[in-house]
Structure 1
Amino acid sequence: MTPSLDTLCHSQFDCRLDNPTLLKAITNLCEATDSGLLLHSANGTEIFRFSSLRTRQAQHQVTSILVHHLERIGTVKLNVIDPDKADAIMMCVKQIIESSLDQDVTSENNENHHFRDILNAAPIAISYINGQTRNVEFINPMFQEVFGYSLDDIPTMDDWLERAYPDESFRNNIIASRSQKIADYRTLGLPVPDIRTHVVCRDGSTRQVLQRVRWLGEHRVTSYMDLSALSETENRMQTRYGMLEMLLTNATLDEVLISIVRRIENNINTGSRCSVLLLDKTHTSFEKSYAPSLPKNYNDAIIGVQIGLGVGSCGTAAYLGKRVIVEDIMTNEYWRDFTALAQLAGVQSCWSQPILNSAGDVLGTFAIYNDTPSSPNNDDIDLIGFAARLAAIAIENRSTQLDLENWAFSDHLTGLVNRRRFFELAERSLVESYQQHIPMSVVILDVDRFKKINDQFGHIVGDNVLKALAKCSKHVIGNQGVVGRLGGEEFTILLPESNLLQATSIAESLRQELAKLSTPDGSEDIVKFTVSCGVSSNDDLEISLDELVSRADHALYQAKRNGRNCVIAYQQPE
C-alpha cells in the first residue's frame, strides 16, 4: 500500500523530532526546570520521555499540540512542580522544537539559531544591529519588556537613538561623541568600556542601564542591564549571561574556565573561592587546576592526585559522578587525609559538582570553597550546577573544534599536515624569515617507482608504504621542521632556520633512513622503497613561496633524471 503524502510528511517530522541534538536540548531544559516531559509523534508514537525522581512527584500537567508549517506533527505532555511556570516552560519546549525543525543543514545557520536562542534566553535587554546598513535586525524579548519598544518602533539605529534620547542637543553632542568612541575602539581592536546611561522608554519613563557593546563581524550587539532595580537574583542572572557570552567569543578554553571561576567568585559570599579541576585522558587523575584565588602550592598539590572515595570533595565527586557537599572539612571522612592541605589553603568547607559531558562521562569538577564551615542554599546548588554544565559545554566545544581543525588540516591517510595547511605554515614562516633575516628551506620528496609498487602489491600495500614514510619522516625531522603530504606519493618538508647546506644534509639523512625501511606486503615478502629529494632555500634572496617550491620541484626532477634515490639541491644557473 502506497503511503499518503500526509503519512510521508509525518514520518519526516518523526525522524526530525528524534534528532539527538534536539532531544539533548530538551533534556537540558527539563533538568534546569525540574520538569518531566513526554513527546509523541502525530500518529501517537512515543519519541522521547524524560523524568526524574523529583518530576515524578509533580502534580501539574500541561498538554500541547505541535504544529509546524500548518501541519500537526505531534504532542507534548509536560509535568511541572510549579504550575505558575508551566506555560513559560511549554513555550520554551515548543520554541526549541520549532527552532530545530527550521534549522538549516549548514553550520553557519546552526550557529545563527544557537546564537539567537541564547539571545532570546538572556535575562537582559539585547539589540542586534547591522553595522553597515544600521538596520536593527533583532531585539530579544527582554529588550521589549524593559523598554517597551518593538522592532517596528525602532527599525533603524537612528530611530532607536531618537526614541531613547529625545533631547536633540544631548543626542548630537554626548551620544554622537560616544558613538565615535565606540567606532574608535573597534578600529583599534579594543573592547568597548561599559557605559552607564539613561534611556527613555516607550511609556515615557526613564531607566538607568549599563550598556555593553560588542562586535560580531559587521554586527553590533548591545546589551542593556537594568540598574533601576538590581537585586541579588538579577546579579546571578547577569553572571550567567556573562558566562554564556564567553562561549560566543573566540576565547580559549583556559580563558573561558578562568572566567567561569572568577564570575562565580564575584557572585558569592566574601571568603568563598572556586576551582575547576580537569581529569587526564585516562579519567583517573587531576591534570589541570583553574583556581586563581587558591594558593599556588595548593593547586600544585592537586595535580596528579588520583580520584577515589575519600579523596576530598572533588576527588570523591569525580569518582562517584555526583555532587558532594562537605560542610565541615575538619570532621568529614572524605577529607581525613587532606586536612593539612585544606589548612594550607585556608578552607573549611567545600561543595563539589562533577562536570559531565553529553555522554555522561566525568571530565572534572567545579567546586566552591569557604573559609568557614558552611552549608549551601538552593541558589548555591543551582549556581554550582549551572557552572559545571557551562564548563562541560566549553570543554566539549573545544574538543569539537580540535577535531574539526584536525579534519581540515590533516592528511587522513598519513596524519601529516595536508597541502593547504603546509602552505599556510610555509607562508607564515617565510614572512618571519625575511623579518628576522634567517634562512628557510623546503624539501620535496617523491617515492621512486611508486606506481610499480601499487601495480605489483596492490593499493593497500602502497598506502602502508606512504604511512611508513610519514612516520619515519616525522621521527627524523622532529622539531626541526614540519612534514606534509602534497598528494599521492609526493611529500614536502618545511625547514625554518635551515640554510641550503643544512637542509640538504637533513634530506640526505632522511633518504638513508627511508632506504632501510621494509614494509610487509601481507604475505612472506617485504617491500623496499627509495625516495628522491629536491631542496631549495631562500639564502640571501627574497623570493616568493611559489618560487621556493618551484625550485625544490625542479631539483626533484633533476634527482629523478640522475637515477633516483638521491638528493639534489637547487643551484641557480650561472
Structure 2
Amino acid sequence: MTPSLLTNAELYRCAFEGMCDPILLLKDGRFVDCNAATLKMLGGITKSQLIDRTPGDISPAYQPDGRTSADKAEATIAIAMREGFHRFEWMHARADGSEFLVEISLTPITVGSEVVLLTLWRDITERKQAERFEQFRSHVLELLAGDQPLPVILEAIVRGVEQLDSAMLCTILLLDKDGKRLKTGAAPSLPDFYNRAIESVEIGVGVGSCGTAAFTGERVIVDDIATHAYWAPFTELAAQAKLGACWSQPIRSSTGQVLGTFAIYHHEAHRPAESDLHLIEQTAHLASIAIERSVAAEKLRDSEAHYRLLTEDALDVIWKTDSELRMTYISPADERLRGYRADEVVGHHVFELFTDEGIATAKEIMRQRKAIGSPAAQADFINFEAQHRCKDGRTIWGEIFSTAVFDEQGAITGYHGITREISKRKQMEEQVRQLAFHDSLTNLPNRRLLYDRLKQSMAASKRSGCHNAVMFLDLDNFKPLNDAHGHEAGDLLLIIAADRLKRSVREIDTVARFGGDEFVVVLNELDADRAASTALAGNVAEKIRAALSAPYLLTISKDGKTDIVVEHRCTVSIGVVVFINHEVNQDDILKWADATMYLAKEQGRNMICFFEGEI
C-alpha cells in the first residue's frame, strides 16, 4: 500500500508500532495502548494484560528515591499535565520479577477530543551501570594519586565491584616473588576459613579458577563449581563456603607478566554476561595499575636503602657547590644519568644543570628559604623536584635534597646535596592523572575534566564578552550494533566517533565522553552577537552530524578466529545551548543541552535542536 492510500489511523499505527523504543498512552492514570517494543521490554506479557493497568501495577512497591510507585506515578502525571512535559527515572519490573531502570518522558497530546499522555520509555540500565563503574574507577584512581597503601587500594577495588552488583563476591590474589603461589591481596566478603585454606596455594592447571588462570595466563570461567574438573580438589571447601561459580581474570603488568588474579564468585551456578566479562577485564586492569605502582615504590625504597649502605657507588648523584652556587664536586652517577663528565660540570653554575622550568623552580625554593631568615631553618634540608638537561638533548626529572654549609661565624660557604632520578615515578604519576581525568576507551576528557573545562569556558566568556556553546550528542542506532556484534564492535565505533568529533572542532574547543554513547562538545569564543554565535554553532553541529553519520567499517575478531569487517551506519541527535558569561551554573547548561538533545530524538533523530528557553 502506498503512503497516499493510508488513512490517518493507519499512519499512526504504522509509526506507533514501528518505533524501536517503547511507546504507551496513559489516560486517567491507566494504560490504554502500547507498541510491541513495550511488551518486549516487559518480558513477554500481552497487550491485554497491560491495558487498563496503572504504572504502579508493573513496578516494585517502592522506587529508588524511597517513594511508593503509586505516589510517584500520581505526582509525575500531575507535573506533566501542568507543565506540558516531564522527564524522570523509574524502576519497572518484568514479568519474571527482574527490575530494570528506564527514563520516562510524559507529554500530554490530544487524540480526538480527549487528552492522553504520550509515554516514552528508554532503558538506561547500562548507562547507569557505566556511570557507577566510572565513579568507582575514579575513586580508585584518587586513592592511587593519594599514595594510599596497596592493601587499601585492592580492598577498595574489590568492594567497589561488589557494590556494582550485590550478588558478586570478589577477590584479588597476588603471585609471590617466585611466581608460583597465590597470596590473598583482598577478599573481604569470603569466609575466613576459605581464605586460610587457599592461602599460598601453588598455581597450576586444575587448581581452581584462580590457580589455573595465574598458571595459563588466560581467563578461566567456571559456571558451576560443583561439576567442573578444575575445582575437583576444592569441591567440599567451596560447598562449605556456599560458592557456586567462579570467574577469574589474570592481572597482567604493562609488560605482560602475570601479577595475580581478579575473581568474581557467585553463591549459585552462574554464567557471565558479556557485560560481566567487560567488568572483569576493566577491574583487572585497575588492579594492575595499583600493583605495578606498589612494586615501583617498593623498588624505590630498596634503592634508598641501598644508597644508605653504599656511598662510593651510589646510584644517586652527590654534589657540592660554593656559596655562589658553582659546582665544586659531582659524583660519577651524573655522567650515567645525564651524559656529562665531571670536568664538564665542575666550575659551572648549578642552574646549568636545569631546564628553564627547573631554574624557575629552584629560584622560587631559594626565595622561600631566604624569606624564613632563621639560620637554624636554613640549615634544614630542602626538597624539590626539577627537570634536568642531558647531553644528548633529553630531559629527566630529578628529586633534589640539599642543605647549606656554614662556617664558624654562621656564614654560608656552600651547599651540598643529593639528586635522585625520578623520571619513571613522574611518568607513572602523569599516567594516574591521565586516567583520573580521561576516558580510558576514547582518551577524551571524562565528566570530571569536562566540568572543569566548562567552568573555564564560562569564566572566559565573562572576560571576553563572547558567546560560547555546549552541544550534547547521543548516537542513534548504536545499541543494535552492540546487540549484534558485542561490546568490542561498540567500543571500536566509539573510538572512531571520538576521532571524528575531535577533527570537527578547533584546538580551543573541548570534546568529552559523557558516558555510554553520549558526548559533550564545548565551543569557545564564538562571537559577541548571539545570532552570529548561533549560526557558527549550527555550522559546527552540522559538520559533526555529517561526520558521525558517515559509514563505520569495523574489523572484529570472532572468538579468536578470522577477523570480519562490519559496516555500520548510525546517526546522531544533537542538542545545542548558546550562552554567555557565568550567570548560570554548569549543571543547568548541561541539563538544557541534554533536554534539547532528547527533543531532537523525539522529532525523528539525526537532527540538531537549539535550546530556546531563557538563560
TM-score class, shorter-chain normalisation, is 0.3 to 0.5
**Greater fraction of residues in helix:** 1
- The normalised TM-score by structure 2 is 0.36
